[in-house]
Amino acid sequence: MCNMKQCIMSKRNFLLFTLLLLFLPASFAEAQQEKELPFPITQYKLKNGLQIIISEDYSLPIVSVVVAYNVGSINEQPGKTGLAYLLRNLMFQGSENIGRMQHISFIHRTGGELNAATTQDKTIFSQTVPSNQLALVLWLESDRMRSLDIDDNNVIRAKDDLIEEIHQRKATDPYLESYLYFDQLLFPDFAYSHPVIGTEADVRDITVEDVKSFYSSYYIPNNAVLCITGNINKRKTKSLIQKYFETIPEGKKPPPPDLAKSSERTAKVETFRDSLASAPGFYLGYRIAPPYTVDFYPLAIIEYILLRGESSRLYKRLVKKERIAFQMSGEIEKKEDLAALKIFVINNNEVMMERSQKAIFSEINKLKSSFISEEELIRSKNMFKMDYIKQYATTVDKAIFLVETHLAKNSLDFLGDEINKYLAVTPSDIIGIANRYFTQERILLNIRIK
Amino acid sequence: MKTNSNSQNNSKVFLFFLLSILLIWRNPLSSQERFRKSPPYPEPLPELELPNIESGFLSNGLGISVIHKDNLPVISLRLVILSGESSSPEKLPGMATFVANMLSRGALNLSSSEIEEMIEFIGGNFSSAVFPDYSLFTFTFLEEYLDEALEILGKMILQPSFNRREIENVQRSMFYDLVRKNTDSEFIAKRVLFKLLFKGHSYRKSIYSEDIIKNFNQKSLFAFFDNYYRPNNARIILTGNLNLSTASRKVSRYLNTWKRKNLEVSLPSLPEPNQRLKICFVNLPKTEDTTIYMGNIVPPLTNPDFFPFVVLNQVLGGTPTSHLFMNLRESKGYAYYAFSEVEFFRICGVFYIKAKVRPEVTYASIKESLAEVEKITKEEIPSFEIEQAKSYLIGNFPLRIETFENISLKVSEIKAFNLGEEHWSKYYENIMLISPKKVFEIAQKYPLLTPVVVIVGDQNIIIDHLRDFKEVEVYNKKGILLYYIKRGEE
């Protein structure tokens, strides 16, 4: 058995290994890389434009059905925020053949589980049931895709619930106010800067007609992806999909959201007094290359080097070693065609806050000027690999992973080789990319107690 | 005329025919409306093939179980120490949790940070959870690093350092964790409920406050560790693409020097169920809603009543379509949520109802919850409801063992409670056998109508509503009785 430190190649062995690779036939070197996903995928499109993804998995007698619509808060107009979120909730209030809340009770009666999520750029409905209940879920999903029940009563009830949720979040979520303001600085255009849940004033003004119009514009088969993963018979599944979805009429192609200013990178330092904050802190953000671009792969590994795990550079220095931060977290936030690396720190006082900022900038400078050790790079990549694998750990995780990828790239053909692009990142890539993206063009929002 | 009439009739038939064709052509859905109007019939219930569990023992008494799963390149390792909080010293409740938290905080020649780096190097994650009967460690890592993972585990188990600096770190983090939870109304309600139900019982040691944290020291930690962290008091469960023979060989390589010790293990006594309805209140200022937890002692997992009890719980409060949710939220509009749960221990279970309600309907919510319980003790639940509950439980079972972590958790529970593999291999059969009559018998057999009721809310908002009860015992957040409120008295 090799000791962990022995496992990491010495420089001499590394050279030998590289030389060996040069003399090996190309096919052998390529064989070291996985080119296919570890599960099967079938993709096709119905006549009405609905994109279908099927993936069989026979380990348990369950099936997951995910329907994702390419719509989120970026599709809302000024004065109509919260519409995408409201419509997601209305999707459980009944359709032509299904009564209010019946969707939930049908799924629960089978022992199944369901969920729904709206983000800035997508809305996803998911359910996992025993595999003999696949037709039931397709019946439910197709009915609300073709004939959602939108009337005064439903809309008023959904608006009341949403306003209550806005109140609850405002009252209980510390640092939410400052977070929303930070997002406005980082993504200055309207599409990305308003809260997904909407504002109370806008939600009050939403009319039944607004909801109907939003539904008919975006909840159409040619703006959606249906993914089925689990213990299924492919032939029967295709036939069920055809039965329930093919006759739903295609809609008019939805207009693209207005993202005019979102590609801009600027430098800003501001201060915000947060009414619920119990301690000072700050948000730091860098706009970076979007997912699936060449630059994104090293950036994703940098996220792990700096921020992921207790042995990441920033956590180790700020929280464990120097103890200047009370709490620290961060991640890359991916949007449709944008991304940002965000860091959030809470300090005991403002002196610690300044010291934390200096420490972060000094760690970023180190990243830009010195090669990362082989050991640290393997650690970061292994942690990344584990998180990547967990994206398809269950049938529903897998279905969500597939629809999200499809919505972002409009294809899954590249996916088999995707993980290797992250694992191939070199120390030189890290230095180059860190210098390109971690510049003075950053947003720093200092949070003070009100 | 006749000809004319015939011709008119023919024209009408033709027009009707044409109109029908046009309607069908204009609206392609109309031909399919029939199947859309009602839910499709399900196909036959698919068979569940549970993965095989291979089990064995090393020569030092360490139990090893392997669950073969090969759909992810990951291994999930669970270490079960068959002693939990009920084994903590009388004056040091929380000791079992403290020792578990210390395990990854350093070993001989290895600091806490070095262990953390070694774990993360293999894409791993290590965590612990302590229950009244056992302590559970979860270690998930990339499958190519099984040797490295066992080496790390071996160092933690065979050479713990419990160094003073790390003891202070754990004291600090446990202290702030408990202080933070003191603002969580659900945490407080459950803590006070369990404290009252386990009064005078060894399970009460799993309910402790932040004041006790400072009392742990290196000597007491080593004493607890030396007593209970023994191979003959431990089980390792591995889930991944491996078999028992490989697993045993590898585990043995790193843990064969772990020395066994004869343990004096005695089962805790059976706690007495609460015999009369008791209403308790805890003041938590600035909370807008009221949180209610009400419960009592019920049979353990090993009791044959377990399966009917699970069905009873499902009908009453298992999901948003169960009686409590439908009544308190959907029908009356009192609650944000209302559910029931059963938590199982080695010698008993605790059945409880939990709800978050508007303060002004606190009394009405408790009354309605008790009425729902009373209903199932007075008359049989209709068989279609029992069948629905069974269908949920059977359908939901495979979802609960889908991940590596969940399946190994299930097997850990089987090993910790010594349940025997039939407990899960015959789960479907046992649930299928439950009848309305059996559930009715169980509902009458256990003291469900005399629970301890714990209400947590803001005294300034709720005080007038508390006077609806005949007598209320007022406790602080740690579960210490302060005074009584009696109806008609100031």
* Nearest C-alpha neighbor of B236 from the set B302, B111, B146, B343: B146
* pLDDT above 90 (res A4): no
Summary mean pLDDT of chain B: 90
Do you know the residue count of chain A? 450
Backbone angles phi, psi at B137, to 5 degrees: -115, 135
User: Is residue B151 exposed (0-12), middle (13-18) or buried (19+ Cβ within 10 Å)?
Assistant: buried
Q: Which of residues 303-322 of A touch B (CB under 8 A)?
A: 309-311, 316, 320
Average pLDDT over residues B72-81: 96
User: Minimal Cα distance from B320: which residue of A?
Assistant: A105
pLDDT digits (tens, 9 = 90+) for B368-395: 999 999 999 999 999 999 999 999 999 9
Q: Give the Cβ contact number of residue A352 at 10 Å.
A: 21
Tell me which chain A residues have a C-beta less than 8 angstroms from the C-beta of B46.
61, 130-132, 231
Classified as helix, coil or strand, A224 is: strand
User: Minimal Cα distance from A243: which residue of B?
Assistant: B32
CB distance from B24 to chain A under 8 Å? no
CB distance from A40 to chain B under 8 Å? no
**One-letter amino acid of A374:** E
CA distance A211 to chain B (A): 23
CB distance from B200 to chain A under 8 Å? no
Tell me which chain A residues have a C-beta less than 8 angstroms from the C-beta of B253.
1
**One-letter amino acid of A109:** R
Q: Which of residues 62-101 of B touch A (CB under 8 A)?
A: 69, 71-74
Average pLDDT over residues B230-244: 96
Instruction: Give CA–CA dist B280/B196, Å, rounded.
Output: 10
pTM value is 0.88
**CA distances (Å), B343 to each of A103, B194, B195, B413, in order?**
29, 11, 14, 12
CA distance A410 to chain B (A): 26
* Nearest C-alpha neighbor of B153 from the set B81, B94, B218, B57: B81
> Do β-strands B471-475 and B481-486 pair in parallel, antiparallel, or remain unpaired?
antiparallel
User: Minimal Cα distance from B183: which residue of A?
Assistant: A172
Contact A110, B399 (CB under 8 A): no
* pLDDT for B11: 52
pLDDT classification of A85: cutoffs 50, 70, 90: very high
ipTM above 0.95, yes or no: no
Tell me which chain A residues have a C-beta less than 8 angstroms from the C-beta of B45.
130, 132
CA distance B227 to chain A (A): 31
Contact A4 B397 (CB under 8 A): no
* pLDDT for B20: 46
Instruction: Give CA–CA dist A309/A381, Å, rounded.
Output: 12
Average pLDDT over residues B293-297: 97
pLDDT classification of B22: cutoffs 50, 70, 90: very low
Average pLDDT over residues B79-83: 96
User: Minimal Cα distance from A391: which residue of B?
Assistant: B72
CB distance from A413 to chain B under 8 Å? no
Q: Which of residues 215-234 of A touch B (CB under 8 A)?
A: 231
Contacts for A149 with CB less than 8 Å, ≥ 6 apart: A93, A94, A95, A96, A100
* pLDDT above 80 (res A262): no
CA distance A393 to chain B (A): 7
Contact B399 A59 (CB under 8 A): no
* pLDDT above 50 (res A334): yes
Secondary structure of A71-100 as H, E, C letters: CCHHHCCCCCCCHHHHHHHHCCCCECCECC
* pLDDT above 80 (res B6): no
pLDDT classification of B10: cutoffs 50, 70, 90: low
Tell me which chain A residues have a C-beta less than 8 angstroms from the C-beta of B395.
110-112, 129-130, 133
pLDDT classification of A101: cutoffs 50, 70, 90: confident
Instruction: Give CA–CA dist B351/B341, Å, rounded.
Output: 6
Which of A3, A130, A382 lies closest to B45 in CB terms? A130
pLDDT digits (tens, 9 = 90+) for A208-249: 999 999 999 999 999 999 999 999 999 999 999 999 999 999
